[in-house]
Amino acid sequence: MQTVAVIDYGMGNLHSAAKALEHVVPAGMKVQVTSDEKVIHSADRVVLPGVGAIRDCMAEIKRLGVDELVKDVVKSKPLMGICVGMQVLLEHSEENGGVDCIGLLPGHVSYFGRDLYEGDEHLKVPHMGWSRVKQSEHTLWSGIDDESRFYFVHSFYAQCPRRELVAGTCRYGVQLDAALTRDNLFAVQFHPEKSAKAGLQLLGNFLRWQP
Amino acid sequence: MGLAKRIIPCLDVDNGRVVKGVQFVDIRDAGDPVEVARRYDEQGADEITFLDITASSDDRETTVHTVEAIASEVFIPLTVGGGIRTVDDIRTMLNAGADKVSINTAAVFNPEFVREAAEKFGSQCIVVAIDAKKVSQPGEDDRWEIFTHGGRKPTGLDAVDWAKKMEELGAGEILLTSMDQDGVKNGYDLGVTRAISEAVVIPVIASGGAGNLDHLVDGIVKGKADAVLAASIFHFGQHTIPEAKAYMADRGVEMRL
């Protein structure tokens, strides 16, 4: 039996991600929410979710050795980061006065600020709701129309200087990176588990992905 | 190409059934919450809000099971409110599959609870519900006050100041219900909706009083809300979500179609 491990490092809501994965999981594969290093190492693919403050997330990730774990597993199996689970894969976030992150992807995470504008419109922060994602060519977008809307909730956004690693962008006052990819890694700022059909399609594609 | 405004159908749930009262009386049965939630998801609702209005706390178990059942089938954001008083209440609902919780009376009696909740679970999942009623007299400057107990008890708290305070304490979103309008279908109180939307940087959901599709448009365009919440107009077949979205989009509101 193939398994997909959802890494539980004690932060926030893993249930939504696990339930959505269970909804699209192919026959012969099972979803396991776990913090057990052995289970994660033996899984066929791995999901790193995350919500809440990044300092707390990184503290738990380091305490549990999840940083070394994800660096290791991504060498040999598909890994998906979601929301803060994407942000922690970059080098650094300015949230909570500045937090060093795992650094699997080049780039930084910045605050939208309270004076975020699109034209004359003063934008709300957090960026909460359904925004369009402009796709770059990637097999995980199969069956999803370009510029489909996904559900976002975040006050900090990622930007990667290596544009060839950007799989999707989104405009919200600034141009932000909504999806980043590198070898076995695919990470998204939005919540595919809360993005109705488009999100479920992306999760299903991830479960079948052979990078 | 911006952020879509959201339509959020609201399920007021009493003893495991969706109900909708007109100003908290004349309760009508609107079905099984899981079926109703699934129907709205299929229709393209942007989120779902589940308000537990069960009077006694004996039926928390029922609520938890219902939330679990909805979360297993519905893959859009789910907010759960009603009786959220402690960190454990929040954890229980998030573990059951809620994405956000809505804190109402507990915030009024203990504002620090909002800070504690936001620090523990992140602002993104903390919605503060504000029940506001207009207290100014005709001819005076508009003023709205926070009420509790279904709009019966005034608190003396200014609604706009209160919203700002909730934002400072870490609320991620405001669910603003204008009590004098709720269930009477005369439209949202656009004055208080706009005043609060412009006073805070976090998103505001307009609630209370939507009786037709123009009310939804007005909530966004005139009230400057980021989302509109409605119950009766969807529960009893007066309108579907796609009808509402098409109507709003035709009037220049950006929607997820």
Question: A2-208: what fold?
Answer: Rossmann fold (3.40.50)
Write the pLDDT tens digit of every residue in A71-127: 999 999 999 999 999 999 999 999 989 999 999 999 999 999 999 999 999 999 999
Q: Chain A within 8 Å of B226 (Cβ-Cβ)?
A: yes
Residue A144, φ and ψ in degrees, nearest 5: -120, 120
Looking at per-residue pLDDT, the higher value among B82 and A198 belongs to: A198
Tokens of A204: 């299903």
Residue B58 pLDDT > 70: no
Residue carrying structure tokens 């859009």: B76
CATH superfamily of B6-250: Aldolase class I (3.20.20.70)
What is the residue extent of each domain of chain A? 2-208
Confidence label for B181 from pLDDT (cuts 50, 70 and 90): low
What is the residue extent of each domain of chain B? 6-250
A92-93: strand order across its sheet: A99-100, A92-93, A108-111, A156-159
Q: Which of A210, A198, A169 is nearest to A20 (CA)?
A: A198
Q: Is B161 helix (H, G, I), strand (E, B) or coil?
A: helix
Q: Is B252 helix (H, G, I), strand (E, B) or coil?
A: coil
By percentage, how much of chain A surpasses pLDDT 70? 99
CB atoms B227 and A129 under 8 Å: yes
CB atoms A130 and B41 under 8 Å: no
Write the pLDDT tens digit of every residue in B73-117: 999 999 999 989 999 999 899 889 899 999 988 888 899 999 999
CB atoms A53 and B122 under 8 Å: yes
CA distance A163 to B243: 40
User: For A130, which of B46, B173, B203 is closest by C-beta distance?
Assistant: B46
